[in-house]
Amino acid sequence: MRVLVTGAAGFLGCNVVRVLLGQGCEVYAVTRPTTDLWRIRDLGLHLVVCDLQDFESALQCVQTVRPQVCYHFAWADGADLNSFDNANHLRPSMDFARMLAEAGCERFVGVGTVHEYDTSIGKLSESSPLKPHNVHAATKIALAVALHQIEQNTQMKCTWVRPFFHYGPYEQPRRLVRSVIDSLRNDRPALTTSGEQRVDYLHVEDAATGICAAAVAGLPVANISSGRAVAVRDIVLRIGQLMNKVDLLQIGAIQHRRPEPAYICGDNSLLCGKTSWQPKYDLDAGLCHSIDWWVHGRA
């Protein structure tokens, strides 16, 4: 299987690339000229330097690779969910999908977000109402709608996945689990919010295998979640306990930057029922693996 992966050097993308390589796929990784390749430098990938926002560059990429499947992770930096840079990625992504369809690509896997949903309603299934609260989620929904229209008018099938919260190897420094581990392993205080909100966290390797399972099964849409919600403060506390550094935790030292939903949990019964996918890690095992990777693995 010849597979094209955009955003392959990102946190989620690089873990999906590893799954695809493990399945024997021939993987072409799309990267920008300025991309730091530290997450994928050790892998046997075909690197394709391409700026997807440049129409001719994107067209050349598609015509050169002619993939059977495309996983599309490339998007704006997620640090600011209300940045209008998200909108700058919408039209190029639509054009890219159309190019792929015209080149004979069989399946396009679009990557959305939990924030597409109305997160006030409780446990979220794929049929739950959508209510984007930021520009990032709104543009993702727009892309999903456009992909549905492309699917209706071409031979290319589309899968739309909505990852919830994930953590683990190759995580960005600003994210919760990585930031707490970094602070504790360097004997610095770990400052967090009160962490009373309960959210659905899934180890990134499980998220990656879930995304690939949804694509192989041809699911139109799928939640990529653990199916369980846990209090953020309990995650922080457990990391402190596992690293024997609870005294360095300062839970509640940081104010929430914006109002956050009290409960976000994904119903993963569709993915589990339609595929053989099951999470490999429970939260405790996932945190142990993450700690070991960041303390001993990458270093």
What letter does residue 247 receive in the DSSP assignment? G
The pair of structure tokens assigned to 169 is 């190897």
Architecture of domain 2-163: 3-Layer(aba) Sandwich (3.40)
What's the whole-model pTM score?
A: 0.97
Phi, psi of 18 (to 5 degrees): -65, -40
pLDDT tens track for 128-163: 999 998 999 999 999 999 999 999 999 999 999 999
Q: What's the pLDDT at 251?
A: 97
- The residue with greater pLDDT, 208 or 121, is 208
As a whole number of angstroms, the distance between CA 228 and CA 246 comes to 24
As a whole number of angstroms, the distance between CA 55 and CA 51 comes to 8
The pair of structure tokens assigned to 190 is 């770990």
pLDDT band at 246 (very low <50, low <70, confident <90, very high): very high
Q: What's the pLDDT at 298?
A: 62
Q: What's the pLDDT at 122?
A: 87
Please state, rounded to an integer, the average pLDDT across all residues of the chain.
96
- Per the listing, tokens 């109402």 go with 129
As a whole number of angstroms, the distance between CA 192 and CA 175 comes to 11
Domain ranges in the chain are 2-163, 172-201+227-297
Which amino acid, 41? R
As a whole number of angstroms, the distance between CA 147 and CA 233 comes to 38
What is the arithmetic mean of pLDDT over 38-56?
Answer: 94
Instruction: Note whether 2-163 and 172-201+227-297 share their fold.
Output: no
What is the arithmetic mean of pLDDT over 271-277?
Answer: 98
What percentage of the chain exceeds 70 in pLDDT?
99
The CATH homologous superfamily of the domain defined by 172-201+227-297: UDP-galactose 4-epimerase, domain 1 (3.90.25.10)
What percentage of the chain exceeds 90 in pLDDT?
92
As a whole number of angstroms, the distance between CA 190 and CA 233 comes to 12
Q: Where are the beta strands (DSSP E) in 241-284?
A: 249-251, 263-266
What value, to the nearest 5°, has the Cα angle with vertex 120 and ends 114 and 121? Answer: 95
Show Cβ contacts of residue 231 under 8 Å, excluding neighbours closer than 6 positions. Answer: 195, 196, 197, 198
pLDDT band at 299 (very low <50, low <70, confident <90, very high): very low
